[in-house]
A = this chain, B = another copy of it.
Amino acid sequence: MREVAVIGVGMTKFGELWAQSLRDIFVEAALKAIDDAHVDRVDSMYVGSMTPGLFVGQEHIGALMADYLGTSSIPAVRVESACCSGGMAVRLGFFEIASGHSDIVLVGGVEKMSDGADVTYALATAADQEYEVYHGVTFPGLYAMIARAHMHEYGTTRKQLAMVSVKNHHNGSFNPNAQFPSEITVEQVINATMVADPLTVLDSSPVSDGAACVILASMDVAKKMQNPLIKILGTGAATDTLALHTREDIATLKAVKLSAKAAYDMAKVMPSDINLAEVHDCFSIAEICIIEELGFVDKGKGGPFTEQGRTALEGLIPVNPSGGLKSKGHPVGATGAAQAVEVVEQLRGAAGKRQVKNARIGMTQNMGGSGASSVVHIFALQK
């Protein structure tokens, strides 16, 4: 298998981008990544997008984006795994280069959620339509059930959940691309509008527009480039049952665990080798479960670990230095690619006020649905 590196990254600001259409948003991120990589061509494209058909009435996103990027003729395809569509695009681009078929591949993601569609309905299509959605459950409800189970089994507290959001908003306050770059307090989180008990609106990631792109290249090509050399050491993906009620334990995200194990095994590194991680904090409880499944802390101890500041910017393992989905925003198809953008900027030492010190190895963990899909990548700065 050929080695694969990241040679360029780019993203739009996340937020309510009223002045730009779906295609404009993606092209902005793609051009930034192409400029950053200093390449004059890409061999093919993978575009992650969850449900542009429901959000803005447009499918066939691969060809559309190649067309509007001015590269019409190259292979281009859309990838969908609900909210981990962007991370899956990175993975599939990795395979195309690893196989030897292509040398330079643009991978990315985009979503435009603020154009008037019924966002809660559109997002609910990532849950099991026949056994969950028809009975009225939506994602805040599903994650609230996960939170209640975690609190019951492990004693996780309301304050510990809130501290995920507080930390991520603090990090996001240093991120010029963040949708909500504002500090918040534990009291504000707990007293905010209830969405699904115990989760309030400040436990929940926002509705966002945005795009992010990454240029992947074979190691041979990457070595000739001027940017710091960042290799993808490992990729892992896994699935779980789509519906929550069929899982052995709803406080465990099995797909996250399996995808992380696959990535660690491939990369030949351990959790303690990771210097920073961008993880899928769609709701505060998700980050607590995820840091446990990734092996940063024992199962059930994610709450205290967060409360003790171990996942803070200066902590043992900084989690979501970008601000995460909560503060940076969550244009669902773009999120996985934006995580890769952040990790690359951190490994380059170019993350400004949110820079993690001595960052050499970084991880992204991107999730779909209530944890039915997860994809993990491990990136390392090469000397």
Does A254 have its Cβ within 8 Å of any Cβ on chain B?
yes
Number of copies: 2
CB pair A254–B73 under 8 Å, yes or no, is yes
A53-B53, A63-B81, A96-B99 known; 8 other A-B pairs, CB under 8 Å? A44-B237, A57-B125, A59-B125, A60-B81, A62-B80, A72-B240, A74-B238, A79-B79
Digitize A55-88: 1 where CB-to-B-CB distance is under 8 Å, 0 elsewhere: 0111111111011000011111111111000001
Do residues B44 and A75 form an inter-chain contact, with CB atoms below 8 A?
no
The residue that A125 contacts in the complex, of B58, B373, B375, with Cβ under 8 A, is B58
Looking at the assembled complex, report how far the CB atom of A46 sits from the nearest CB atom of chain B, in whole angstroms: 9
On whether A372 and B56 interact (CB within 8 A), knowing A73-B238, A74-B238, A95-B95, the answer reads no
In the complex, the answer to whether B80 meets A59 with C-beta atoms within 8 Å is yes
Contacts A73-B240, A99-B1; A126 near B59 (Cβ below 8 A): yes
- Confirm or deny: A92 has a beta carbon within 8 angstroms of a beta carbon on chain B: yes
CA distance A101 to B98 in the complex (A): 9
Q: For chain A, what secondary structure do more than half of its interface residues adopt (helix, strand, loop), or is it mixed?
A: mixed
Q: A58-B129, A77-B80 are in contact. Are A242 and B64 (CB under 8 A)?
A: yes
Closest beta carbon of chain B to A199's beta carbon, Å: 21
Alpha-carbon gap, A241 to B79, bound state (A): 19
Contacts of A254 in B (CB 8 A): 73
Q: In the bound complex, do residue A77 and residue B73 qualify as a contact, i.e. CB atoms below 8 Å apart?
A: no
For the complex, give the distance between the alpha carbons of A239 and B62 in Å.
Answer: 9
| Closest residue of B by beta carbon distance from A123 | B59
A57 to B241 CA separation, bound complex (whole angstroms) = 18
When distances are taken between beta carbons in the complex, the residues of chain B under 8 Å from A56 are 129
Contacting residues, chain B, for A127 (C-beta < 8 A): 60
Is A54 part of the binding interface, using a Cβ–Cβ cutoff of 8 Å? yes
Considering only residues 234-274 of chain A, those with a C-beta below 8 Å from chain B are: 237-243, 246, 254-255, 258-259
Residues of B within 8 A of A16 (CB): none
- Given the known interface contacts A63-B373, A82-B60, A99-B95, the answer about A74 and B239 at a Cβ–Cβ threshold of 8 Å is yes
**Chain B residue with Cβ nearest A94:** B99
A196 on the interface (CB 8 Å rule)? Answer: no
**Which of B50, B75, B239 meets A238, CB within 8 Å?**
B75
The reply to whether B372 and A60 contact each other, CB–CB distance below 8 Å, is: yes
A54 CB → nearest B CB, Å: 5
- By the criterion CB–CB under 8 Å, are B96 and A60 in contact? no
